[in-house]
Structure 1
Amino acid sequence: MSKVVRKFPIDDFWNIGKTESWFSDMASQGLHLKKFGWTFVYFEKDKKANTKYRIEVLYDKPSQEQLDVYKEYGWDFVAKTGFFYVFSSPQDSNAPELHTDTIEQSFTLDELDRVLKRNIIVFGVATLIIAGIAFALNFYDDEPCLNLVEGNFIILFFQVLVYLHLTYSTIRNYLYVRNIKNSLINGIEINHNEDWKKGRLVTTIVNTLVVTIAAIIVFIPIVERVKSDEYTLPEMEVNLPIIRLADIEENPNLQREVSYSYNGEGIDYNNNVRFEWTPLVPTKYRISESGIVEGMMWSDNSGEYSPSIHTEFYQLRFQNMADGVLKDLMHKNLYDPRYKTAKIKNPNFHHLYVVEKSTSEATKLIFASWDNNVIYIRYHGNIEVDKIISLLENMAI
């Protein structure tokens, strides 16, 4: 079985003369054109040969009778991609050229010219739409850093890059076809031996980047889904970045307040752990814990004392993102104008904020950052916030 070799197409693939020259040079190295793929051009490794290649622009699939006519004139059909049909002939066969009238040949490019114009508009509009969606999703709520690390902005950004590349490539291809068409109208034949090697390295780098970006677009959602997890928070000690309700309350009568699962998966949504992964936040937890103390009432006699704590923890990929994420978390959660924010100086934290409505209010919010970690804690209970901060210090040390 002969070996198949894959190669990226040359940068200016739609420059017909250069592409024909490339195929001929590959054949002289023993690599003979076999087929076209979405990303690569496939060559079959065999004996070196001097082979001519010609590209015919055909808008309708040729019949077998038409292909037989090409063969009678010494040209064998090899492969096709889009409107490009590639024929080959041995260099010493003296097969006549497929076109001898340059003006007539220019007419074969008319439809291709129109198709490329339409594609420029389509890709250009698609690029603007995706860029607009990415911008809107990232900035619509004035929380750009938070949206960046936990949203789909990265995927949309990479999609914009791909569409920019497609738009640029389509414009470049249109200009190639337009220049070839004008040359043919002026009686200048296509140079079938044009130098194709210039810019080959750049082409390989660009194509590799585009393929890599396309792979990232596909695999990021898959990895996010595979890594994500949700389960009931165990009552025993766990290795999680949280402060346990029992450590805050220190009340032997504290019991877990259990809720019913919504979806039949057996998850206690009063006491649950949700883990998420994104490229910029490799570790993200949302953890809730609820308790109740039988026989003990809230100070306003509204019911049995039922403290709770909710924690959102972000371990960021880059430390310099922590300030922005912390700021956006505060913007997201401090929606009540009655909240009073106090910045606390503490050597264990880069930033530490305590938020309360009043000293008698049961709900207390804490926002803190250290190193590449950001945490948001919402505690509802009677214990003073200083105790929660002291427990939080143990996490930061």
Structure 2
Amino acid sequence: MPKKVLKLRPRQYWRIGEHEAWFADMAAKGLHLSKMGAFAHFIKGEPKKIKYRIDVSTSKKIPQDQIELYEEKGWNYVTSYYLFHVFSSPVEFNAPELYSNLTVQSQTLDELDKKLTTNAIISSATMLIMICTLFAVWFLDGTPTLALVKGLAIYQTALTTFFGYMNFTSLQAAFAIRALRKGLNEGKPINHQVKWKKSFPLNKTISFCFTVVFLLCASIPFIQLGKNDTQTLPESNVDLPIVRLADIENNPAFTRGESYIIDNIDWGNRYTFNWSPLAPIQYETNENGIVPGERWDKWGGEYSPDIHTMVYKLSVPAKAKNLIDDLIKRYGYEENSEDFIEMNHPQLDNLIVYEKETLKEVFASHNNAVMFVRYNGNADIDSLIDNIVEKIYLLSE
């Protein structure tokens, strides 16, 4: 049984002359083309000198009468791919060219020219939309580091880059076929012995690399979906690098407040775990409670403090300060940056606080750990910072 050999097919299917030369060189090595798909299929046999010609038609299936016409000239039908149909003939047969009139051959490219031009226009329009979307993800709200850490920017950038490469090849194809048509009309025949040994491997390598990177980045949302987990926050302390409301209040009368339950999760007292390549550990929590018998100093009513925490363990520690700046822009209570006070702390690399009446916001980092805490209650800011230092060291170890 003949041995089959598969070779990765060059993506530039429209490079007619280079494909013809490639098929001929493979035949000279004993690999004879039998089929073209995602891979080029070759049958291993005796090395032979064979000429190959590619005819272009308006459909993916070439008419039988046309096959018979070419056979009479000494050309045997081999296979088809897209609108391209491959014929072969031993060199010693000295078979005449498929087309004696180059103008007629040029006309066979009309339909392909229209399709490739349409594809290029659609591809360019899609690329423009992708660029606008990417710009929005990165810069619309002025928090590019946060978008990167959450993973969306990585996926969108990879997707846009991949589409950019596809758009480039689409434009290449349209311009190449247009140039080939023009050359044929000017009496310049197709060069059937184009040097392919540099362009084919390079283009295959580039295509392979783009595809691998795209698939890896495209997997990010699915990995995030698999790793994302939301649970009701236990009332007792758990081994999580988060600030607990009970530790801030430090009152034995403190108890969990009322909340709303959806899908058996207490969303007012919950923690969510997330993942991304630049922040493989991410926590977001909400917690609220009440202290029976105690009342708000200013508003009256039963004292009911609450706390919201966001925690990130970064793969790139140098991004910590940028992430803090973005967290302030996105989640800071005040828009005026002057209301956020930068402080020095011997155990923290960065510490920025905001305080107004009972509301306190703290943005802190140590090594590769970043924490944002928004607390609404009567406890002082120093108590909040001490708890943040204790928890942030757990995360950065």
User: Is TM (by shorter chain) over 0.5?
Assistant: yes
Total equivalences in the alignment: 389
Instruction: Look up the match of 1:287.
Output: 285
Instruction: Look up the match of 2:347.
Output: 348
Instruction: Look up the match of 2:54.
Output: 55
What secondary structure, in the 3-state scheme, does the structure 1 residue paired with 2:379 have? Answer: coil
Range that drifts further, 94-103 or 308-317 = 94-103
Relative to 1, partners in 2 of residues 1:36 and 1:306: Cα closer, same or farther, differing over 3 Å? farther
Instruction: Look up the match of 1:115.
Output: 115
- Structure 1: which amino acid aligns with 2:270? N
Match of 1:385 among 381, 384, 393: 381
Deviation at residue 130 of structure 1 after TM alignment = 0.8
**1:376 pairs with 2:377:** no
| CA distance in structure 2 between the partners assigned to 1:142 and 1:368 by the alignment | 20
Range that drifts further, 347-356 or 293-302 = 293-302
The answer to whether the 8 A contact 2:74-2:95 is kept is yes
Range that drifts further, 147-156 or 65-74 = 65-74
Instruction: Look up the match of 1:46.
Output: 44
| CA distance in structure 1 between the partners assigned to 2:76 and 2:284 by the alignment | 64
Deviation at residue 205 of structure 1 after TM alignment = 2.4
Deviation at residue 116 of structure 1 after TM alignment = 2.6
What secondary structure, in the 3-state scheme, does the structure 1 residue paired with 2:237 have? Answer: coil
The answer to whether the 8 A contact 1:8-1:207 is kept is no
Range that drifts further, 24-33 or 55-64 = 24-33
* CA deviation string 1:217-259 (max 9, x = no partner): 5312211111111111122332211122222222222222242
What secondary structure, in the 3-state scheme, does the structure 1 residue paired with 2:41 have? Answer: strand
Gaps of 5+ in 1: none
- Structure 2: which amino acid aligns with 1:312? M
Residue pairs, 1:150-189, within 5 angstroms: 150=150, 152-189=152-189
- Structure 1: which amino acid aligns with 2:285? I
Relative to 1, partners in 2 of residues 1:369 and 1:225: Cα closer, same or farther, differing over 3 Å? same
* CA deviation string 1:252-306 (max 9, x = no partner): 22222242323xx201111111111123222211111222222322224633222
Relative to 1, partners in 2 of residues 1:298 and 1:34: Cα closer, same or farther, differing over 3 Å? farther
| CA distance in structure 2 between the partners assigned to 1:321 and 1:32 by the alignment | 55
Relative to 1, partners in 2 of residues 1:210 and 1:337: Cα closer, same or farther, differing over 3 Å? closer
Residue pairs, 1:100-139, within 5 angstroms: 100-139=100-139
Deviation at residue 146 of structure 1 after TM alignment = 1.6
**1:213 pairs with 2:213:** yes
| CA distance in structure 1 between the partners assigned to 2:223 and 2:77 by the alignment | 43
| CA distance in structure 2 between the partners assigned to 1:238 and 1:95 by the alignment | 82
The answer to whether the 8 A contact 1:131-1:156 is kept is no
TM-score of the aligned structures, taking structure 1 as reference length: 0.89
The answer to whether the 8 A contact 2:35-2:42 is kept is no
What secondary structure, in the 3-state scheme, does the structure 1 residue paired with 2:291 have? Answer: strand
* CA deviation string 1:185-236 (max 9, x = no partner): 2333222222211234422321112211331353122111111111111223
Deviation at residue 20 of structure 1 after TM alignment = 0.6
- Structure 2: which amino acid aligns with 1:6? K
Relative to 1, partners in 2 of residues 1:331 and 1:186: Cα closer, same or farther, differing over 3 Å? closer
The answer to whether the 8 A contact 1:348-1:396 is kept is no
What secondary structure, in the 3-state scheme, does the structure 1 residue paired with 2:6 have? Answer: strand
The answer to whether the 8 A contact 2:162-2:211 is kept is no
Relative to 1, partners in 2 of residues 1:332 and 1:387: Cα closer, same or farther, differing over 3 Å? same
| CA distance in structure 1 between the partners assigned to 2:324 and 2:72 by the alignment | 74
Range that drifts further, 162-171 or 370-379 = 162-171
Residue pairs, 1:279-358, within 5 angstroms: 279-300=277-298, 302-336=300-334, 340-357=339-356
Deviation at residue 330 of structure 1 after TM alignment = 0.7
Instruction: Look up the match of 2:10.
Output: 9
The answer to whether the 8 A contact 1:119-1:170 is kept is yes
- Structure 2: which amino acid aligns with 1:329? L
* CA deviation string 1:112-165 (max 9, x = no partner): 223333333222222111101111232222222222322522222222222222
- Structure 2: which amino acid aligns with 1:176? A
Relative to 1, partners in 2 of residues 1:32 and 1:335: Cα closer, same or farther, differing over 3 Å? farther
Deviation at residue 345 of structure 1 after TM alignment = 0.5
- Structure 2: which amino acid aligns with 1:253? A
The answer to whether the 8 A contact 1:5-1:42 is kept is yes
Output the aligned Cα RMSD: 2.4
* CA deviation string 1:320-349 (max 9, x = no partner): 221111111111222436994222101221
The answer to whether the 8 A contact 2:329-2:335 is kept is no
| CA distance in structure 2 between the partners assigned to 1:171 and 1:243 by the alignment | 55
Range that drifts further, 159-168 or 67-76 = 67-76
Range that drifts further, 348-357 or 191-200 = 191-200
Instruction: Look up the match of 2:269.
Output: 271
| CA distance in structure 2 between the partners assigned to 1:220 and 1:254 by the alignment | 41
| CA distance in structure 1 between the partners assigned to 2:34 and 2:370 by the alignment | 55
* CA deviation string 1:77-131 (max 9, x = no partner): 3332322122233444444432222222122122322333333322222211110
Deviation at residue 13 of structure 1 after TM alignment = 4.0
Gaps of 5+ in 2: none
The answer to whether the 8 A contact 1:352-1:369 is kept is yes
Range that drifts further, 319-328 or 12-21 = 12-21
Deviation at residue 73 of structure 1 after TM alignment = 4.2
Identity of aligned residues (%): 37
Deviation at residue 389 of structure 1 after TM alignment = 1.1
